[in-house]
Chains A and B, each alone.
Chain A
Amino acid sequence: MLNEERIRLMTKMAAYEENEGRHNMAIGNYFRSDYISLQMIKSVLSATLVFAIVLGIFAFYHFETVMKEIYQVDLLETGKKFLLAYVIFTGIYTVISYLVYSYRYNRARKSLKKYYSHLQELSELYEDDARR
């Protein structure tokens, strides 16, 4: 027999799974530390890429000066300066992304908790049915 209450619950859950739930479930598959560290690695990579792009634009902009002075400047000193800038930039960006992603993980977990409670409810409905 069709159980209307059950169908209503399942419809709600299926709609959740299809919409915002899909994203949350992808997050929920990870442990907190795994998820956040994966995202932080991605952040470090994109920060590195951005730094490289900006550096490239800058170097190309001052192309003639760079070419002229490349043999005169203290390469080690300049390298240190750039490295420091890179570390600071990447560090700040990674900290921001840590905050964002830990917030997102918590939010997804909270939302999934509700989903799991619906799941529990559903299994109870099935049990009731079986007893009848």
Chain B
Amino acid sequence: MTNLLVLKEYLKGIYGKYEIYITPVVKFLLALITLMMINGKLGYMSRINSITVVLVAALLCSFLPMNFMILIAALFILLHLYAFSAECAIVVLALFMVMFLLYFRFSPKDGALVLLTPLCCTLNIPLAMPLSAGLVGTPASAVSVGCGVVIYSILQYISESVGTLNSMDAESAMQKYRYVVDGLLNNKTMLVMVFAFAVTVLVVYLIRRMSMNHSWTVAVMSGTLAAVAILLAGDLMFDTNISLVSTVIGAILSIAIVKLLQFFVFNVDYSRTEYVQFEDDEYYYYVKAVPKITVAKPSKTVKKITTQKKNAAPPRATGSVIKKTDKSGMKRV
């Protein structure tokens, strides 16, 4: 445990020093994975289905704001769908517009959740997102996660029914359109997942704010249980074909990931080096403010309990007790 805490302090130090490089690299990787997954799943437009285009787009995303990455991802999805069938593209565009206008106008910072939720769903660790959102976010994050699930479901639905859509005539545009809208509105699996994830976010959020020991762990566990229970109940009620084994394995993996994140990311104040400039009447200041690093090493306290005088109270204990303490306890936020 002590080693882990020292490692955490060390990572904090590295982040504080090299934040200016680390953030773009992380963003680049995130964009690369997202776009490659979109291409792998949809890949209908050959022009953007090449690694060069993906690399250029990811490079752009690495130094532009997070929301630009979402815009690029949405654009990729729409272009692929348009190349496949214009009806699909119209429905998905309408869906994106509604989400943007109703919700993301309020909380533009939650965009990352919408991007990461489909990613986690594809990687079969869908619970990681609602659990993390409940731990660090607000109850409103439930809506973001829900939007992410809706996007994932509609894309999954379209990519699964490519054959059906292809077999429809080009003239029966109406039929295709109806098929896609039906897939969006009558998708029981999606509804069950949205409900389960929203409940998870709320459960985790409410429990982690309680004043009890290990509230974060309890929150993660009860959130996971709630989600699995709802997913399975939904499976029984609506016959949604949610597999028990993969749900449970995914849930366990998600817990592991969230615990790891909790230790290294959520509870830690990753303050970074700030570069600021300002002036007063006399000077121009170009300030580089570096956060102080304190790697606390475990210290030993030696406490001696000995009986010195004879004929004093009968000896109770002799010898010494070595007590190990570490100063770098985790701070609860």
A positions within 8 Å CB-CB of B? 2, 7, 10-11, 13-15, 18, 42-43, 46-47, 49-50, 53-54, 56-57, 60-61, 63-64, 93, 97, 100, 126
Name the interface size band of chain B: 20 to 34
Segment at the interface with A among B98-106, B153-161, B256-264: B98-106
**Complex interface residues of chain B between 85 and 124 (CB less than 8 A to chain A):** 91, 94, 97-98, 101-102, 105-106
Q: B212: CB under 8 A from chain A?
A: no
Residues of chain A with a CB closer than 8 A to B280's CB:
10, 126
Q: Is the CB of A15 within 8 A of B274?
A: yes
Q: Is the CB of A14 within 8 A of B177?
A: no
Q: Is the CB of B285 within 8 A of A7?
A: yes
17 contacts between A and B (CB under 8 A): A7-B287, A10-B280, A11-B289, A14-B276, A14-B287, A43-B105, A47-B101, A50-B97, A50-B98, A50-B102, A56-B94, A57-B181, A61-B178, A61-B181, A64-B174, A93-B102, A100-B106
Residues of chain B with a CB closer than 8 A to A100's CB:
106
Q: Is the CB of B105 within 8 A of A42?
A: yes
Q: Is the CB of A53 within 8 A of B277?
A: no
Q: Is the CB of B102 within 8 A of A46?
A: yes
A50 to B91, CA, bound (A): 13
Which residue on B lies nearest to A49, using beta carbons? B101
Which of B97, B98, B178, B283 has the most chain A CB atoms inside 10 A of its CB? B98
Which residue on B lies nearest to A126, using beta carbons? B280
A93 to B101, CA, bound (A): 11
A3 to B282, CA, bound (A): 11
> 5 smallest A-B Cβ distances: which pairs?
A14-B276, A46-B101, A15-B274, A14-B278, A11-B287
A10 to B285, CA, bound (A): 9
6 further contact pairs, Cβ within 8 A, besides A46-B101, A54-B94, A126-B280: A11-B276, A47-B101, A53-B97, A61-B178, A93-B102, A97-B106
B positions within 8 Å CB-CB of A? 91, 94, 97-98, 101-102, 105-106, 174, 177-178, 181, 274, 276-278, 280, 283, 285, 287, 289
A116 to B97, CA, bound (A): 39
Residues of chain B with a CB closer than 8 A to A47's CB:
101-102
Q: Is the CB of B289 within 8 A of A63?
A: no
Which residue on A lies nearest to B87, using beta carbons? A60
Residues of chain A with a CB closer than 8 A to B106's CB:
97, 100
Which of B91, B97, B181, B274 contacts A11 (CB under 8 A)?
B274
Residues of chain A with a CB closer than 8 A to B105's CB:
42-43, 46
Which of A18, A50, A63 has the most chain B CB atoms inside 10 A of its CB? A50
A92 to B181, CA, bound (A): 25
A47 to B100, CA, bound (A): 11
A63 to B283, CA, bound (A): 70
Which residue on A lies nearest to B178, using beta carbons? A61
Q: Is the CB of A61 within 8 A of B177?
A: yes
Which of B98, B177, B181, B276 contacts A15 (CB under 8 A)?
B276
User: Min CB distance, B104 to chain A, in Å?
Assistant: 10
Residues of chain B with a CB closer than 8 A to A14's CB:
276-278, 287
Q: Is the CB of B278 within 8 A of A10?
A: yes
User: Min CB distance, A64 to chain B, in Å?
Assistant: 8
